[in-house]
Structure 1
Amino acid sequence: NTVGSDVLLYSYHRSFNGFAAKLTKDEAAKLRGKDGVVSVFLSQRKQLHISRSWDFMGFNRKVKRSVIESDIIVGMLDTGIWPESQSFNDTGFGPIPRKWRGTCQSSTNFTCNNKIIGARYYRANGDYSPYDYRSPRDSEGHGTHTSSTAAGGLVSKASLYGLAKGTARGGVPSARIAVYKICWYDGCYDEDILAAFDDAIADGVDIISLSVGSIFWSDYFDDTIAIGAFHSMKNGILTSNSAGNSGPSPSSITNFSPWSLSVAASTIDRKFV
């Protein structure tokens, strides 16, 4: 939770133990030397990574699916979501699964439904752009894109300005979505990323997805995505993360912890000219 203090930013306690605070170098060094402290590291800013794809990969939409899939909850850590998108229409969805323990931080410009069942946003430094929504609503588009890719419903007659007409859909259209907005106009900060992991694990998501990372790889003890994914896996929750946003040069992958699933981009069987 966010703590009302100029020093303490977050106390992580729902799924793992830790905190984010404003410390001097000497204070951080003293803390690092105490028994029971696994790691102390400086918060860094991470960046975002980014219809036909599922068919191309062999995930046919006509495959018979279990009704249990409607109880799968995908936790999306990104820029938020645009709930009015047809990809997140909740027509045909039953009640929210009983296992769900999260919340919806609704506002005058944001509400959840039986498809988007939870939503939170994080901004420990309190620095908002005039173009940001102080809610889980997406002002950038990246989070809406990734959420629809993972679990968007079927949307017919989708196209890019009339090109590539078809049905847009996510990998598991019947899954529910829980949104954790960690990224803003200037990027995604480590203290917010860990807070989102802490909540998502405790809220009861079944899988966590994020397309966020650093420019360079970090030691696992200093990498908030690796740390969050580790605690997720300890609780039986797989974290699927983008491998990186660079390449194809050597050492351009930044998310590759052995307890998470790193996903890379590839080519597809069509192109726009």
Structure 2
Amino acid sequence: MPVSAPISELNFVTARRAVRVLRPDSPSQAVSLARQCRASYTAGGTWLQPAYERDQCWPENLVALNASWPGFWGLEDGPNGLTVGAMTSLAEMARHPLVRDYLPPLAKFLNLVAGPGVRALGTVGGNLIVGGDLSALAMALDVRVDVVGHAGVRILPLSQWLRERTSEDLLRGFTIPDCRGWRMSLEKLGYRARFSPTRATLACVHDGYRLRLAVGGEGGLLRLAATEAFLNGWAALAPDDFGAVLDCELVDHGWQDSHLRMALRRMTTGLLSEVALGT
């Protein structure tokens, strides 16, 4: 598909290789460039160094996104809940009054995400896409995403999009359902002295009717459906089986580190005491 509008390019050279940064004029043009050039999107760029450490190579092409595109930045309270533009920074989200209204624990939790510089540059959309600290809570809340792709705009559940997404899909924003009054708690486990991905983030939510649990980190992003069913009384198991259910579900979905699973069991017990019991 040819690109009709002119594209400005910026080349910068590192000690390792040159990276071509493409600056499209619109979201649809960004999608076209990502498809044609097999390029990744970049906004705050805070993922580049961790990605290099993991893959030992820099990307050849990057498509730079623009926060001024409609729907890509800011927070808005609407009939379907709280809509967040994907290019809103982590720092902006942490201090926004709507976040304190919808998600009281999140502002404090976001201040634990990396350092101040990363929070000022890093975007909520980027954090969500790479399975960062926001992803577990988003999964537990059944967030819906607004995605621009080669076939147009789609709005669908985050869990479905993560299963079906293509490399050129561009996240414009996401909507958090009206969760005001819900009880929720978050906890993360990571390396304090390293600029590296979090080992695990756990989200526990009570929506007034049932518990919701999700985890993200080294083993991937997972809605803990079997553990939820047990805790909500839908599974005919003895109370002592809680740890076994959680451990089995984690193993089945790729969480192979036994020490990390043990830590998650302790974290879950603590969050349940805060959320389910209202303490």
Q: Highest relative contact order (Cα 8 Å, sep 6+), 1 or 2?
A: 1
Q: Please give the TM-score of this superposition, normalised by the length of structure 1.
A: 0.31
Whose helix proportion is higher, 1 or 2? Answer: 2
